[in-house]
């Protein structure tokens, strides 16, 4: 049995992954943005170990989520599922002054990775849209560019893959991988999305707990339990290091060195 923490798991892909993990006999800790969503999550998965509560768009609450998670003990795997979509019509800043899509989709996984007791496996959710992402950090906060919600989302998902690969390179004792679940019929994807929802869920769980040799790797990108080529820039150590430095400057949190 593995202990797994799934962020953004009060609904959607995160909750479905948590439910599948529990059916397979694993212990799951959920995450919800607020107390109301936490109650919904607990009702949807009454056998969970617990629900960590905190808004991952806010720096202070993200730190609190890490503290709550650590109080429960060390996890075998953490699935960074939390994310917001590509329909943000206007550039918005969090109270901390960080562009909202970047704050939730990139900065929160970075901070949680740095602060949660190091698990054996890390899983980061990306998207096929990452291939249209901007392969640099010239303006990650959209302070100069004309806003595009779809582009901001694509950029954030490219950065998520780069983050997964940076962690794999920095922490050789941790299996750190990214995946695209496909365009699946969730609230974000819409009811007519053509991809298979169950396959997207199963890939998260497979990377988190499977002993299959294909899953027992690090620094790889997957789609439906098969390796897939990511945007080539995500494997560039220079981009990875620039991303880590940018996240550290925004959060005041530095990724710890390898043990």
Catalytic residues: 153, 157
Q: How far is CA 137 from the centre of its chain?
A: 19
Phi and psi at residue 177, to the nearest 5°? -135, 165
Asked if residue 28 lies in contact with residue 52, where contact means CB atoms within 8 angstroms, the answer is: no
Closest CA to 52 of 73, 30, 72, 35: 30
Q: How many CB atoms lie within 10 A of CB 195?
A: 17
**143 token code pair:** 């302070």
Asked if residue 10 lies in contact with residue 38, where contact means CB atoms within 8 angstroms, the answer is: yes
Give the span between the Cα atoms of 187 and 195, in whole angstroms: 14
């Amino acid at each position: 049995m593995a202990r797994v923490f799934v962020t953004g798991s009060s609904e959607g892909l995160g909750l479905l992954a948590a439910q599948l993990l529990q059916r397979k006999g694993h212990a799951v800790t959920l995450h919800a943005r607020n107390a109301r969503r936490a109650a919904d999550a607990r009702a949807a998965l009454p056998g969970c170990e617990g629900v960590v509560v905190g808004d991952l768009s806010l720096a202070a609450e993200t730190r609190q989520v890490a503290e709550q998670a650590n109080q429960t003990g060390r996890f075998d795997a953490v699935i960074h599922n939390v994310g917001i979509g590509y329909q943000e019509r206007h550039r918005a800043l969090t109270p901390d002054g960080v562009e909202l899509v970047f704050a939730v989709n990139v900065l929160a996984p970075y901070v949680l990775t740095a602060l949660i007791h190091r698990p054996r496996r890390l899983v980061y959710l990306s998207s096929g849209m990452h291939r249209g992402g901007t392969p640099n950090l010239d303006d990650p906060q959209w302070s100069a560019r004309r806003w595009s919600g779809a582009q901001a989302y694509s950029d954030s998902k490219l950065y998520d893959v780069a983050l997964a690969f940076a962690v794999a390179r920095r922490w050789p004792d941790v299996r750190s991988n990214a995946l695209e679940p496909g365009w699946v019929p969730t609230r974000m994807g819409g009811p007519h999305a053509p991809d298979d929802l169950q396959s997207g869920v199963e890939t998260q769980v497979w990377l988190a707990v499977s002993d299959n040799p294909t899953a027992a790797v690090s620094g790889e990108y997957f789609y439906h339990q098969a390796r897939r080529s990511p945007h080539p820039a995500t494997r560039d150590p220079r981009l990875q290091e620039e991303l880590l430095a940018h996240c550290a400057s925004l959060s005041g949190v530095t990724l710890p060195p390898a043990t």
